[in-house]
Amino acid sequence: MASAWWFLLVGAVVTYAWRAAGVALSGRIDPNSKLMRWIAAVAYALLAGLIARLIVAPQGSLAETALWMRLSAAGIAILVYFLCRRSITLGVTAGAAWLIAVNWLGF
C-alpha cells in the first residue's frame, strides 16, 4: 500500500513541475511564431484524424451504425456549428441527437 502512495506522490510532483514550467515559460512564448502555428496545425490535424477515424472506421457500439448515419450526423453537427455562431456545444449536441434519433427510429 505504501508503494501506491509513493507512485501517486511522484506522479503529482512530476505533473505539477511541468505545469509550473509551462506557467513560467508562457510569458516568453510568442503565440504567432512559426513554431506555435505549427504546433496548432499539428493539434488540429490530429483532432481531424481522430474524428475521421471515428466516422469511417469506428469501434464498439458506433461500429453498429451505418456509415450514412455517421456521415449525416457529422454533417448536421457542422451545419449547426456554423448556423449557431460557431457553437461547439450546439453542433456536437445536434449531431449526437441526430445519431441517437436515427438509431432509435431503427433506420
The string of pLDDT tens digits covering residues 66-75 is 999 999 999 9
Per the structure block, which three cell numbers stand in for 100? 441517437
Arithmetic mean of pLDDT over the chain: 93
pLDDT in the model for residue 26: 84
To the nearest 10 degrees (0 to 180), the angle between helices 67-83 and 88-104 is: 150
Per the structure block, which three cell numbers stand in for 27? 510569458
Distance from C-alpha of 91 to C-alpha of 84, rounded to nearest angstrom: 8
pLDDT digit string (tens) for 33-46? 999 999 999 999 99
Distance from C-alpha of 89 to C-alpha of 91, rounded to nearest angstrom: 6
pLDDT in the model for residue 4: 86
pLDDT in the model for residue 28: 85
**What DSSP character marks residue 20?**
H
Per the structure block, which three cell numbers stand in for 46? 490530429
